A and B are shown apart, each in its own frame.
Chain A
Amino acid sequence: MTDDVILQVKDLKTYFKLDEGLLKAVDGVSFDLRKGETLGIVGESGSGKSVTNLAVMKLIPVPPGRIAGGEVLFQGKDLLKMPDDEIRTIRGNKISMIFQDPMTSLNPFLRISTQMIETIVLHQGMNKKDAKDKSIEMLKLAGIPSPEKRIDSYPHQFSGGMRQRVMIAMALSCNPEVLIADEPTTALDVTIQAQILELIKDLTARLGTAVILITHSLGVVAGMCDNINVMYAGRIVERGTADEIFGDPKHPYTQGLIKSVPRLDKATQQRLFSIKGQPPNVINLPDCCPFYPRCDRALDICKIKYPATAELSKGRNVACWLYSEGK
């Protein structure tokens, strides 16, 4: 089983040194990503989803950021220990990313063709002509109509949804092993969201790319992911298969998240559930469970100590005192 793990994140820690204090944006995150798998990372805004994945690519701005510990093993090699010129052969090539806001993620001053071709030329060693053909092919796959005409346009000549398609085409152009999609649909309107998710699912399945799908919406993750990690305040609080997380959520936070997904199938007149309180301020956080102030089932020990992760079954973990031994 472990031999088809292509990306292994072990106890990753990323801190930001701010004027207000030390911000532990990611504090001991571990997960495995298998070939062809789609892994969801879910959590509220500020829970450290983006930072985790930027750290995987060593793209954290230093300073104020710092990768304070952990390993990121890609095909057995630790990306965090790699020299810059080596990790650059992986970025955009073996592991590529698409981002939340397609309106600002493409360079407004360069043609789409320039931006796509430079990646392909860099990693695949093609000449520009072949790289352009390859780009057109990718745009076609990504559902851009008449790509041979539109490839020389500038980003502002595309709509948001189209730009995200361009980003996807660009990210997959070097046939990466891993695609990290950081809230790829958050900035788009609902009808387009479904199309973009479908496109990612379809293309990555075809190319055999493993996907890390970051989102704050369980609705997005439901139809897409094999496994789900739930993040809260820089840590993974629960993990399991999509069925396990939706069918039998353990952590009170996960339960709250699921209850707060609007359901169209149940015609209830109830008000939409929302988790009370605010996401925690993770600056100078004490060693308690950061969720306890918002938790209905908090125990005394939750205020004192962070729970160890309990393994309920293989690949099914939860970090909550309700499930820990010796509470």
Chain B
Amino acid sequence: MARFFIRRLLSLVPTMFIIVTLSFFLIRLAPGGPFARERDLPEAILQNILKRYHMDEPLPKQYLRYLGDVIRWDFGPSLRYRDRSVNEMIDTTLPVSTALGLTALSLAVILGVNVGIVSALKQNKWPDYTAMSVAVVGISVPLFVMGPILQMVFAIWLKWLPPGQWLSDHGLKAIILPAVTLSFPYFAYIARLSRASVLEVLRSDYIRTARAKGLKESVVIVKHVLKGALLPVVTYLGPALSGIVTGSVVVEAVFVVPGLGRPFVQAAINRDYTMIMADVIVYSLLLITANLVVDLVYGLLDPRISYK
């Protein structure tokens, strides 16, 4: 197990290297550049700026310089907001996005699993029908529709919750609407997934054995059904997290949350190379680690899997 873990951690290095290399060249292939918008810049001044960011050097040299910086976790200055470093921007926005994302993921998992279990146990009765109808809505309505609807109902009509902004202005209440919006599709999917897998396990031979042993139904469910039934949910956590990361960009825009999403989109539009690279690196690290954690949890839950 420990060896597996270390090997996976080590494999992070080549993976990240490939990601950094590909992104570095790919974004430079896209038309335009960080300074293309500032039209009619006198040639001399442009040269000056390029020189300041070492962008007058040949590409391979820039690349090597960048690699060296990244290894020291130095993402360089933003090409757009010239008075701020990329590290500074990541440091202020990443915690916000992480808080939002983790809250959404926890909501999705906790509510989704519980609703799924109840649905399965009440199969084809009203709690099941209600939950599964909500789930269909959750899966089919996109975030940019769900967000404004919730905003309108709970913030503007009922005035229970702030319509946007973040903890500094409204305290913990501010996280509720964006987190609920962001978690909705994943909650819905997890609810359906766990319902289906609880139903499947309930039909399995070993549950029949458990019942034939005289165990109480509650013991059968908690001790014999759940572990097997939750494995598909654990597997889904990886894709769910990457979905939440991208969904976060939309939700942050709808609720004016000062997270990583907005600077990321801005950076892409502005060809703010250093900022884009930093975003890609941060997101990749996040997803790779999350998948590693998922694999570990899976291994802990399923004794048939042994990592060597």
Residues of A within 8 A of B (CB): 57, 59, 61, 84-85, 88-93, 96-97, 99, 101, 104-111, 118-119, 122-123, 154, 156, 167, 170
Contact = CB atoms under 8 A, between A and B. Distances in A.
A156 B227 CA distance: 16
Contacts of B227: 109-110
Given A59-B208, A104-B204, A104-B205, A109 B214 contact: no
A93 B213 CA distance: 7
A96 B304 contact: no
Nearest to B205: A104
A288 B227 CA distance: 48
B212 interface: yes
B208 A99 contact: yes
B262 interface: no
A91 B302 contact: no
Nearest to A109: B227
A109 B212 contact: no
Contacts, number: 74
Given A108-B303, A108-B304, A154-B303, A88 B206 contact: no
Contact of A119 (B206, B213, B217): B213
B210 interface: yes
Q: Which 3 A-B pairs have the closest CB atoms?
A: A92-B213, A91-B214, A92-B214
Given A108-B228, A109-B302, A89 B208 contact: no
B209 interface: yes
Contacts of A59: 208, 211-212
B303 A109 contact: yes
Contacts of B304: 108, 154, 156
Nearest to B206: A107
Given A109-B302, A170-B213, 7 more contacts: A88-B214, A90-B214, A92-B213, A106-B209, A109-B228, A118-B223, A122-B215
Q: Which of B208, B209, B223, B224 has the most CB of A within 10 A?
A: B209
- The dominant DSSP class at the A interface is loop
A57 B212 CA distance: 8
Contacts of A89: 214
A87 to B, nearest CB: 8
Contact of B205 (A84, A93, A99, A123): A99
B212 to A, nearest CB: 5
B301 interface: yes
B212 A92 contact: yes
B208 A110 contact: no
Contacts of B203: 61
* Chain B interface size, under 10 / 10 to 19 / 20 to 34 / 35 or more: 20 to 34
Contacts of B216: 85, 88
Given A154-B304, A156-B303, A156-B304, A108 B213 contact: no
A297 B209 CA distance: 42
20 contacts: A59-B211, A84-B217, A85-B216, A88-B214, A89-B214, A97-B212, A99-B209, A104-B204, A104-B205, A105-B206, A106-B209, A107-B210, A108-B206, A108-B303, A109-B302, A110-B224, A118-B223, A119-B215, A122-B214, A154-B304
B124 to A, nearest CB: 9
A157 B156 CA distance: 60
B213 A118 contact: yes
Q: Which of B209, B210, B213, B228 has the most CB of A within 10 A?
A: B213
A96 B210 CA distance: 11
A197 to B, nearest CB: 20
Contact of A104 (B206, B215, B224): B206
A101 B212 contact: no
A111 B204 CA distance: 18
Contacts of B209: 97, 99, 105-107, 167
A91 B303 contact: no
Contacts of B208: 59, 99, 105
Given A104-B205, A104-B206, A119 B303 contact: no
A52 to B, nearest CB: 14
Q: Which of A99, A109, A156 has the most CB of B within 10 A?
A: A109
Nearest to B231: A109
Contacts of A111: 303
B303 A105 contact: no
A84 B302 CA distance: 32
A118 B206 CA distance: 14
B230 to A, nearest CB: 10
Given A101-B205, A154-B303, A156-B304, A107 B224 contact: yes
Interface in B102-161: none
Contacts of A118: 213, 215, 219, 223
Contacts of A156: 303-304
Contacts of B223: 110, 118
Interface in B189-219: 203-206, 208-217, 219
A85 B304 CA distance: 34
Contacts of B219: 118
A91 B205 contact: no
Contacts of A96: 212-213
A109 B301 contact: yes
A64 to B, nearest CB: 11
A73 B167 CA distance: 67
Given A154-B303, A156-B303, A106 B206 contact: yes
A122 B220 CA distance: 13
A35 to B, nearest CB: 21
